[in-house]
Structure 1
Amino acid sequence: MIVASKREKLGYYLFLAPAFLVFLVFIFIPMIASFVLSFFSYSMTTIKEPEFVGLKNFITLFQTPVFRTAMKNTVVYTAFTVPTTMACGLCIALLINSRLVRRKNFYKVCYYIPYVSSMVAVAIVFSLVFNSSPNGIMNQILGKLGIAPVGWLSNDKWAMFVVVLLSVWKELGYVMVIYTGGLLSISQDIYEAVSLDPISSWKKLIYITLPMLRPTTLFLLVVETIGSFQVFTPVQIMTNGGPGYSTTTIVTYLYQKGFQEYKMGMASAIAVIMFVILLFLSILQNKATSQR
């Protein structure tokens, strides 16, 4: 057992100090300040001091139809984005790691490029592709097939679909890479032992691969769920929460209250509600996975 001297311990703490200071100043203190401010009525457009209102901000939010719509839209977005991304990412990872595919690194890079691309640039490109006018790229393709133009981003039935499609396309490479790492961590001895019995590839996937990937799946499920609840950039650029409020999410509504209406107390309350929801979902997902 190696015991570090006091001088070495001091060196460790000094190396950790900058990261701890950044976390303290830019994350922890603002988080506590936001929690405290959620119990106050405060507008940045006035010089009045914050007024303590207790739970009034939270009660007002849950009584507001727009906030309930934003909650529903966020849940719908998450329910479609997370399972689709994880399922497609797993399928691609299994295909790339199989013996059927050569030049595996080439395909990994191709799928990973969208993930490292700027979300703003990707959202602008998707806005051009799914432009609601007949001159939009997708509508021109439909016109060649004899199909009438579709108001992709101006139709409340299609706008959320486009946002989900963008998110799935962009996150697919990240999920694929994580699942690829999980597949490579599975010992080949297990498959060699099973190959002695006449077991189909489907059963190997169900009874060996998927159970061995459970920690990876839990990690991705938590990370992707948290990321989906925080969706902002594609919605803000492509639809600005519209048409109507059909694509308004919790974060876009927070942005509207905090940085357009300058109601910082209300915006802080929205942030606290989102934090509680994500904490509950993370605990629930952890328990559900650990019990299996």
Structure 2
Amino acid sequence: MQKSVRLKSFELVARDINDVDVELLHALSISVRWPHRPKDWDLLRRAGHGLVAVDGIGRVFGSAMWFPQGDDFATVGLVITTPRAQAQGGGRWLMDQVLEQCGNRNLALNATHAAYSLYVSLGFTSEAIVYMRQGEMPQTLPAMPALDGELNELPRDRLGEITALDTRALGTNRAELLALLAEDASIATLSRNGAVVGYSMCREFGRGFVIGPTVAGNDQDAVHLTAVHAKKLAGRFVRVDTRERNGVFAEFLQRSGLEVAETVTTMSKGRRFLNREDNGPWVYGLAGHALS
């Protein structure tokens, strides 16, 4: 694969994303109004692989990452290019190299409106819309459905209790990613008859906190697994990314002041990514656009 590209008046070279100062990555995300802090970039670099496009004096013009989850699947994210590089094909050049690194893995990503046509041209197909809901949590949460089960905090050394449930909901084993996220997250579980039927994580991200991943078997359980974190965040900025457009869960988020700020499109290449089982666990809240 071509490791450098000349875009009209300047040349860009691909470098491993770990070889670039995190402050340059932070500046790149700020340039496109993404909320990632240096700390968020550091976590993502630990979770996956990636490259950046730099010019002859070390300025960063773009990034792209991929995150292995299991042996035959990966998510793609943090595909960012400056307007100058994007207009001259820098995004496609970065994606071509990411696809080469991913090999024969099945892939999924969440496409912004600006990048959607690029991913279509690379063979990705649309599956669903993700609603990025965010806002300041109220002092009192809206009324909730009756709780069916028992909510508990899960210690980080007992992640094995949620791994099988998460794998069933997502369709791939991401135990290593969950362990990484759990380092700085609070984790809640919902149990019925002694069995864990749902879980959620909450961690600092961007302007405030993100609640996700959240895995549950129904809207009512998802509400309680979200609320258990939200009630501790009154007055704080909170984000929840979900594919739920309507229903009890979406309505709860709306009534909690989490408005839809943006949408992206979940796309896949290879096997279909989203396969919801009847009465089975489902990912109600994403870990993040890059991680799903």
TM category (shorter chain) comes to under 0.3
TM-score calculated relative to the size of structure 1: 0.27
Give the structure, 1 or 2, with the largest relative contact order (CA under 8 Å, sep 6 or more): 1
Higher-Rg structure is 1
TM-score calculated relative to the size of structure 2: 0.27
More helix by share: 1
More strand by share: 2
